[in-house]
Chain A
């Protein structure tokens, strides 16, 4: 049984449909991420789960019980707000103790639980500080502590890392994962950063314009995107226009860039249909173009070479003007990866690593 279940939820703000018949199940103990461009309705979904926003249509069940009309204060859900929203007139301790005090917890237990939580978020000894005396990273930890001290059924996190600098963000990512494992609470996390979504989550929900485009584990979202939006939003991609020539069983022939290729046909495409072929930069290969290109590969010229430490990113212009990004890994047995600007090359991909999408 899902711990949160949204059924056909719609929300309109000032005649603008923000959430459009969205259904979503969140399972107990999982780390679920809502990923999508800014303005696509992620925060609104979170606020509907928290009860801070009502839905115009549809309903919400939490822990199997109808919560559509249950106010925020009576839901077993706590939120880490994007702006932290800490209480500026209280100390760190009082901020964290706020929820427990409202639940009439005994002072002794409050003290113990707040201290434990402070230790958990690595802020031991800072309980007496005022909020204004904390750094951004520390405020972030207080915001997390203030929510988890209540041991809610579900923890909602709205872009909690977006205000931190790069290094701190990576550190906090790891800590969030550890926290999730330690607490066993269901996490619903919101981000517009695909890397964050892929590294943190058990499942990713890709959203666009108030609707869900795809739900799945990070690997599936990345390797088997359902459509062009997901493919382009999650990770870098090269998309080629193609046409199906002939199909048989799970295989088909397609014409890409004037070249005939045999690929898998998992989605029942028909001969004559137009499709898109998606290739991740790391799934493409480059050969020196001193001889004529082999059949099945595309001739092109190197426009840019970007050194990235363990990889090299090549920007290649194909003969018809299309630009392709290829990621080459350094490995020990291969000779140096080095190309001259404007050098002729042949681009191909490892058979079977392509994803064929419907043409939209």
Chain B
């Protein structure tokens, strides 16, 4: 009896979480153009999608930004996490606390404040501003992920390397980096998906010349949801799922 309650409860939770997504995926294979009535299976929306040059451009732009931003954020974030856990300096704890506040601040606040900054600096919104914004909001996630990993191992290992003749550079590349690599990769994948998915911040900081996928979709659905969009969203969701799953296994791996 108890078991049954547990199972039904779990089913309810997962249904709540996944029914919207499943609906979207199912309808991306629906023949009908305007109705939500099932008219039979088709792949034509995917084919159509491939022919939509505007959408493909936006998709390519999104991938470019996500890739470059996540790589930069991972580089800076990894070094930052290393510095915070490795060197003692004044305000170290406050510094790390500030990282969390960036992570928690609402997207709309981030978006507006970044826009204000760019305007103040006289920068024209476009690829560069978008990239900087994405690096900014990805950075804390990388730092937190990598920092947790660094904290997890014996700090004496660094002393041992130094004792055996390693300088700072060698300590980082031969000892720290190999040991935190799974966390670095996880942080990178997380950044990649965050950047790929972002709508609100991007809305403020990109210009008309540089269209990215989530914003393109957003403008499309204002005129009604097209089945191509369903297809596109399905592809996006699967990409995100793959990245998140990979990140999860990378952080879990070797922990035991």
Chain A interface (Cβ < 8 Å from any Cβ of B): 47, 50-52, 71-74, 77-79, 81, 83, 85-89, 98-99, 102-103, 146-147, 150
Contact = CB atoms under 8 A, between A and B. Distances in A.
Contact of B166 (A88, A89, A102): A102
Contacts of A98: 161, 164, 166, 174
A103 to B, nearest CB: 6
Interface of B: 153-154, 156-157, 159-167, 170, 174-175, 178-179
A45 to B, nearest CB: 15
A73 B167 contact: yes
Contacts of A77: 163
Contact of B164 (A71, A88, A89, A99): A99
B160 A85 contact: yes
A146 B159 CA distance: 13
B160 A81 contact: yes
B164 A146 contact: yes
B165 A102 contact: yes
Interface centre among B164, B170, B174, B175 (most CB of A within 10 A): B164
A103 B159 CA distance: 17
B154 to A, nearest CB: 6
A78 B159 CA distance: 11
Interface centre among A51, A74, A81, A146 (most CB of B within 10 A): A81
Contact of A72 (B154, B163, B170, B175): B163
Contacts of A89: 178-179
B184 to A, nearest CB: 13
Lowest 6 CB-CB distances: which A-B pairs, in order?
A85-B156, A99-B164, A85-B160, A102-B165, A72-B162, A89-B178
A83 B154 CA distance: 9
B159 A73 contact: no
A72 B178 CA distance: 22
Nearest to B170: A102
Nearest to B155: A85
A81 B164 contact: no
Contact of A88 (B153, B161, B165, B170): B153
Contacts of B175: 87
A79 B179 contact: no
B160 A73 contact: no
